[in-house]
Amino acid sequence: MISLGVKIPAADGSSLATDVLLPDSSPRGLIVIRTPYGRGWHLAEGLEWRSRGIAFICQDVRGRHDSTGSWEPYVHERLDAAALAEWLQDQPWTPECVIASGASYAAGTAWAFAAETNNADRAFRARGIVSKVPTIGSDRVKRDPSGILLLAEHLAWWGEHGDSSSSREGFIPALMRSDSSLLEHLPVQSMIEEVGLTSDSPGWLTPILRAREREPYGSDDLVSADELSELDVAVLHIGGWDDAMIQETLRHFTSVGRGPQSLIVGPWAHDLRPGMVGETSFGRLQVEWMESIFSARPVTINRVFDRGAGDWSSEPYVTGANRVRLEPDPRTAPFNFTHHADEGRNDCVVWTFDMEVECVLSGMPSVELTVHSPEGEADWIVELSVVDPAGVTRSIARGAGVSLQPTMVTIDLDPVLHTVRAGDVLTLRIAGSDFPRLARNLGDGDRYRGTRSTALHQSFSGSLTLPMLGGTAGG
């Protein structure tokens, strides 16, 4: 049976448009996807699973496409996941084993569905989650861990998906090609008006207000850290080293309390292209894992790409226990710069460290800086790169911190798995801005409502700490 556009009631009376694809005989499992990007994109996937004897459900989230109600990103997903679970509880065909699946926003809804069903007194529960590049709350995807607004991402996503029931695919990239100064508009808070939308929309304004008020990072997560630790569920975590959500992928991988955890991380960005894992199809590994859950014989799959070695590891990803601290040579290393926010320049300092032996970086590098800026609030942007003997530079991790006064700032960089060869050089770039990725510090006390910018003089000292699986660093 195939039923398209089934109206499933939400708690407040909204109807959630849902495609239901059932096999001809009693299903041996069920896959659930809840997405803001249009359930129609998943019909071919659903038909394939139906042919395998698996039921398949895909639902438009509230306020998107054919679902009614108010579209407020991340606000209603727990309640609406619970409504879908209640509906499934009443269906005579609902199997015991359910997998919640999704990518990006839909991965967030998959975690919400699992949390709503995992400990409930139901005839079924979510026994598996396929979590691809998860965005589990507006904070995690709209703010850097330092608290600064992810400016380019926020404008691009909100301008294309954020304020209507349908999307404007490609609109913001096309607009930015026609207006290269779009992201320079001040004040940042009203930038959205430059693309024809209003700046008082809650979804646009909320992340900005949270950033301006320095609210605790991640406090609007769909699933809390405590709930993650209490989940008993098998999970296939999929991410990319160049994905802005790589920390989230690995945070979930290490946080789920019980159940076998599998991990695939490749040299990909948020779109997960090129979609191959070694010589094995990415999709084939996913299907293999899901079939193992439905057969109650869960397998564990680990495929993590080492960009330094150019090869895949099948060992579980762990943080290197050997933490090595590197300090620059004070005779040659500079320790101050000026961030010219008023001139569009971004002066920086570069520290270099010669690596004398081979080692494997695994985990989150960190930078400790003792900082000073006479203008007050300052941003500290760090980027770690590897330069090989041929002079080829590869950026492998970056991070950001904010200081309000002279203090010690510890900056955690992106997680890495990277073999560094003897003869390579590590470079650490320290700057005062990561614009347009991050909203720049204008030097006037309010980067979101300010209308002018000034130069910021920044000085510091510090060190780089590397997590290693083995070997020692030289330099």
pLDDT digit string, tens, across residues 156-172: 999 999 888 999 999 99
Task: Determine the pLDDT at residue 470.
Answer: 66
Nearest CA among 90, 72, 74 for reference residue 9: 90
CB 225 within 8 A of CB 255: yes
CB 412 within 8 A of CB 339: no
State the residue for tokens 């269906």: 91
**Interacting residues of 264 by C-beta distance below 8 A, sequence separation 6+:** 236, 237, 238, 239, 277, 282, 285, 301, 302, 303, 304
- Whether the per-residue pLDDT at 274 is higher than 80: the answer is no
Nearest CA among 249, 32, 231, 217 for reference residue 142: 217
CATH 3.40.50.1820 in the chain is located at: 2-136+221-313
Distance CA 467, CA 103 (A): 29
User: Regarding predicted confidence, which is higher, 207 or 279?
Assistant: 207
> What is the three-class DSSP state of 351?
strand
Distance CA 436, CA 142 (A): 13
Task: Determine the pLDDT at residue 289.
Answer: 97
CB 72 within 8 A of CB 53: no
Residue 263: enclosing H or E segment and its boundaries? Answer: strand 261-266
> What is the three-class DSSP state of 38?
coil
Task: Tell me the mean pLDDT in the region 281-300.
Answer: 92
Mean pLDDT (the chain) is 92
Matching CATH number, 322-468, of 2.60.120.260, 3.30.450.40, 3.40.50.1240, 3.30.420.10? 2.60.120.260
- C-alpha distance from residue 406 to each of 372, 422, 458, 459, 460 (Å): 5, 37, 10, 10, 9
Band (100; pLDDT cuts 50, 70, 90): very high
- Whether the per-residue pLDDT at 280 is higher than 90: the answer is no
In 3-state terms the chain splits into helix, strand, coil percentages (rounded to 5) of 25, 30, 45
**What are the E-state strand segments in 318-414?**
322-326, 336-340, 348-354, 359-363, 366-372, 378-387, 393-403, 407-412
Percent of the chain residues topping a pLDDT of 90: 80
User: Regarding predicted confidence, which is higher, 29 or 273?
Assistant: 29
Nearest CA among 96, 104, 146, 155 for reference residue 126: 96
Band (275; pLDDT cuts 50, 70, 90): low
Task: Determine the pLDDT at residue 348.
Answer: 87
Task: Determine the pLDDT at residue 278.
Answer: 55
CB 428 within 8 A of CB 383: yes
Determine the angle formed by the axes of helices 105-117 and 77-89, rounding to 10 degrees.
50
Six token digits for residue 391: 């002079």
CATH 2.60.120.260 in the chain is located at: 322-468
Percent of the chain residues topping a pLDDT of 70: 95
What pLDDT digit, counting tens, does each position of 377-419 carry? Answer: 899 999 999 999 999 999 999 999 999 989 999 999 999 999 9
Sheet holding 311-313, edge to edge: 2-9, 15-21, 55-60, 30-35, 97-103, 125-132, 234-240, 261-266, 302-306, 311-313
Task: Determine the pLDDT at residue 60.
Answer: 98
Task: Determine the pLDDT at residue 474.
Answer: 46
Task: Determine the pLDDT at residue 40.
Answer: 94
For 2-136+221-313, which CATH superfamily applies? Alpha/Beta hydrolase fold, catalytic domain (3.40.50.1820)
- Whether the per-residue pLDDT at 18 is higher than 90: the answer is yes
